[in-house]
Amino acid sequence: MSVNDDQTLTFNLWKEIEKKYSEKNRYYHNLSHLENMFQELDTVSDKISDFTTVSFSVFYHDIIYNATSKFNEENSAVIAEKRLKKAGISEDKIQIVTAQIVATKSHQNSKDQDTNYLLDADLSILGKDPETYLKYTQQIRKEYSIYPDFLYKPGRKKALQHFLEFENIFKTDYFKNSYEAQARENIAAEIQLL
């Protein structure tokens, strides 16, 4: 593959990511979400063993996002695998990326520390100041506007309680110290409003 072919492929892959994350029904899971994740990960980049692989996971973890689907992460992982193969990324790195993407479904603690940093960056919004968190909850509600309140509220409450049941919402010391206490406050406050 020539340099021009590489540049064209890179350009086309980015344009697809940009298009998917800019779909009209994305109020939270959009390019701003990716930007926030990279800002968060940048602060701990020295602790991440393979930043490039984690970056691929960030780009592709929500490339498929449909509020009515229970398989967004799996479908996103399939797209990542296809695109990264096309880009000539090694099979072992692709397997790590797909595993990291699927891990964003349940946010369980991983034996792989890079995965834990990805998961923590993905959830960092939960520990932001109350005003930022409120804006996030409004964006999520818009993404799920297809559901009336009587369906949305119990589903949202269940998802939030899932996080409160974790011993720690955040898996890494940095994110735990930065966001854990505020995240628990924010989530409890939202549950009260549902």
Q: Tell me the per-residue pLDDT of 163-177, one tens digit each, with 9 for 90 and over.
A: 999 999 999 999 999
Given a cut of 90, whether residue 37 has pLDDT beyond it is yes
Given a cut of 80, whether residue 12 has pLDDT beyond it is yes
Contacts of 49 (CB under 8 A, 6+ apart): 113, 114
End-to-end CA gap in the chain: 54
* Residue 4: predicted pLDDT: 57
CB 67 within 8 A of CB 140: no
Mean pLDDT over each residue of the chain, to the nearest integer: 96
Residue 144, token pair as written in the block: 């799920």
Element (H, E) at 97: helix 91-103
CB 130 within 8 A of CB 186: yes
* Residue 2: predicted pLDDT: 55
Residue 149, token pair as written in the block: 């309140």
pTM score over 0.85: yes
